[in-house]
Amino acid sequence: MTILDNSVARLNQLKKTPFKTVKTVSIAIALGTTCTLSMAADDIRSTTLTQTSNQTIKPSLKQLSNNLPAKPQAYTYGVRPFYLVNDMDAGPLKDELMACSAQTPSQTNFSIAHRGAPLQLPEHTYDSYVASAQMGAGILECDVAFTNDGELVCRHAQDDLHTTTNILATPLSKQCTIPPMIDANGLLTNADSIECRTSDISANEFKTLTGKMDAADKTATNLNDYMNATAAWRTDLYSQNGQVLILKEHIKLAQSLGMKHTPELKAPAVTMPFNGYSIDAYRQQLIDTYKNAGVAASDVFAQSFNIEDVDYWIKNEPDFGANAIYLIDDSNETADGKTFDKNDPSTWKHSLANIKARGIKTIAPPPWILVTTDATGKMIPSAYAKQAKALNLDIITWSIERSGPLAAGGDWYYTDLGKAINNDGDMMTYIDVLAQDVGVKGIFSDWPATVTYYANCKGLS
């Protein structure tokens, strides 16, 4: 696909459009912490955290770069990794991980922050990003979408503002693609079809929103119930600030935290070209944003579920394309007329040999595609993982800590692994199989401290 002349002209016009200063957006710098970590064989003692910063700032688009935190001087695991290790089945791995209980936390690129730390903090918000850095994640993700005036922003999907922000509680809800409908009795009548897109609003309008935990009650009859639907195993305790970021701000924040970058180009929810803005212009704008910020190509791992996006970067931006990651799951890699089977190559849309021949060096399937079980219920590498390894493809995986309690075997992220997954501690075994047997180079996590603890214990940088 080539860039249309009118797309280039439109993009240049958009870049010249001035943005108004956001006047009253408040955020609190996440607490820098130090911690003393110790744990006896089967006795996890409480972790002591010392507050080192509690400054409140009010940044505008222009001012944010002056208010960024310094790279954390201390990292913290918090209590969750110890809970998981303590919950493991008895065995050598549990003993090994327990023996690391007194280690000092350190940053590792093996730990990749998936949207920040959204297990407990609203995804793609300032507080969530800073928390992930303090947990030792070395790489920070921004899912990239665009506004109606051509600014790139961090949202998991172009069409998720109604579930990840407070837009429905603001006048901007009227601009949504499918706004909430209230009948004569004051009842919400279309909870199952509300849709609000980043492309419905401008960058300035986006910056007035507050991020919240991703949730919605699609059966609700009022907006309050619709918006306040956080899962019981998550929390709204840290949802008070919810500062959302445009990509330029995200880059500056990651740089200030000493983190590398993994932006994901999200599939447009609108028909492209959009107001003259083509898909190729979108692909190029993502890379140009990092180049204009002075970020080295070696520190950027652009990713996409659309293999043509990765093809574009390899062809047109080879320095960035060399690090580009092809995201894989059964939704985009199932052969026509088949049901995806991680152990049956005939069900895969693209052979792994074809993927490598396109110049793609790194793939990123979810963990369940990389792991299967043997006759005894032990977790082992899948045929998909074995073939990728034989072809010398680098592998990362997504996402650990995205599910609720694992007593019932987990959800989609643990597909076909019910025989091996029956308690929360099995998550550490899952990580170990991915790291040691599959050989992944990094793991995305919704609570990066879990992966950081494992990586630090195993000496994975």
Which DSSP string do the residues of 321-352 spell out, in sequence order?
HTT-EEE--TTTSBPTT----TT-GGGBSS-H
β-pair type (56-57, 27-28):
antiparallel
**218-228 burial by CB neighbour count: b if 16+ within 10 A, else e?**
eebeebeebbe
The rounded distance, in Å, linking the Cα atoms of 289 and 296 is: 12
Q: What is the pLDDT of residue 64?
A: 60
> Dihedral of the CA atoms 440, 442, 446, 447 (nearest 10)?
110
Pull the structure tokens for residue 417. 């692994």
Q: Are 459 and 452 in contact (CB under 8 A)?
A: no
The rounded distance, in Å, linking the Cα atoms of 13 and 339 is: 45
CA 189 to chain centre: 32
Pull the structure tokens for residue 293. 């910020």
Q: What is the pLDDT of residue 72?
A: 67
Q: Find, among 308, 276, 283, 309, the residue nearest to 5 by Cα.
A: 276
Q: What is the pLDDT of residue 171?
A: 98
CA 361 vs CA 53, 212, 314, 395: distances in Å: 41, 35, 10, 9
Q: What is the pLDDT of residue 27?
A: 28
Question: In one letter, which amino acid is 457?
Answer: C
| Phi, psi dihedrals of residue 291, rounded to the nearest 5° | -65, -45
How many Cα atoms occupy the beta-carbon half-sphere of 133 within 13 Å?
Answer: 29
Q: Give the H/E segment covering residue 373.
A: strand 371-373
Helix 279-292 × helix 247-256 angle, to 10°: 30
pLDDT tens, residue by residue, 8-53: 344 444 444 433 333 333 323 333 333 333 333 333 223 322 222 3
> Dihedral of the CA atoms 419, 424, 425, 428 (nearest 10)?
90
202 Cβ neighbours under 8 A, 6+ residues apart: 19, 147, 148, 149, 151
Burial of 376 (0-12, 13-18, 19+ CB in 10 A): exposed
CA 69 vs CA 66, 252, 263: distances in Å: 9, 10, 21
The rounded distance, in Å, linking the Cα atoms of 194 and 165 is: 13
Q: Find, among 435, 100, 108, 35, the residue nearest to 259 by Cα.
A: 108
The rounded distance, in Å, linking the Cα atoms of 393 and 404 is: 31
pLDDT tens, residue by residue, 419-429: 999 999 999 99
The rounded distance, in Å, linking the Cα atoms of 140 and 261 is: 5
Q: Are 369 and 413 in contact (CB under 8 A)?
A: no
Residues of the chain with pLDDT under 50: 1-62
The rounded distance, in Å, linking the Cα atoms of 383 and 400 is: 21
Q: Sign (positive/negative) of CA torsion 342, 347, 353, 355?
A: negative
**257-267 burial by CB neighbour count: b if 16+ within 10 A, else e?**
bebbbbbbbbb
Q: Give the H/E segment covering residue 442.
A: strand 442-445
What's the pTM value of the predicted model, to 2 decimals?
Answer: 0.87
List beta partners, residue 260: 139
3-state secondary structure 211-233: ECCCCCCCCCCCHHHHHCCCCCC
The rounded distance, in Å, linking the Cα atoms of 31 and 183 is: 44
How many Cα atoms occupy the beta-carbon half-sphere of 371 within 13 Å?
Answer: 33
Name the E strands within 168-311: 260-265, 303-304
DSSP H stretches of helix in 99-201:
126-134, 161-164
Q: What is the pLDDT of residue 70?
A: 72
> Dihedral of the CA atoms 225, 228, 229, 230 (nearest 10)?
-170
CA 93 to chain centre: 28
